Amino acid sequence: MTLGERLIPPEETLDGTLGVEYLERTEDTITGRMPVENRIRQPYGIVHGGAIMSLAESLTSAATALAVADQGMIAMGQEINVSFMRPITQGHVNASAQVKRKGRSAWVWEVEITDDDGRLCSLIRATVAVREARGKMAPMPTGGGEGD
């Protein structure tokens, strides 16, 4: 079984739950967005900070993974730092990420989060670990609950 055969379908992951859309990717950038709906809001009606951080981590991990896959490597979030400056209450949470350093074992990204009016709402620095894809991975869920 290959690594690709082990991946969970996107609609069954956090990205699917949040409604993440991947829009454009180049060698050093990636953009994406997610719709503002109650499922990503906190009780005061603004987008939850955890949802914003998840969007940034998803984009940067995906872009890194796509870039290193042909070298037999995988990528996963290692560290994330965020400064929230303006709340988002409607429309979309828009993310634009640019890689700042492509290291052997980690890539560092800078992510700008904006609202639909182009206003800067958050700045994020994400570090994505790059590791060798090994043959044994945790078994993927097959559905149901305990005892499957």
Whole-number pLDDT of residue 134: 81
97-145 confidence digits (pLDDT tens): 999 999 999 999 999 999 999 999 999 999 999 999 986 444 444 444 4
pLDDT band at 7 (very low <50, low <70, confident <90, very high): confident
- Exactly one of 12, 57, 110, 146 is catalytic; name it: 57
- Is the distance from CB of 125 to CB of 110 less than 8 angstroms? yes
Whole-number pLDDT of residue 75: 96
pTM, entire model: 0.87
N-terminal to C-terminal alpha carbon distance within the chain: 20
Residue of 89, 90, 91, 84 whose CA lies nearest to 46: 89
Domain boundaries 13-132, CATH class: alpha beta
Whole-number pLDDT of residue 146: 44
Whole-number pLDDT of residue 135: 61
Q: Is 57 a catalytic residue?
A: yes
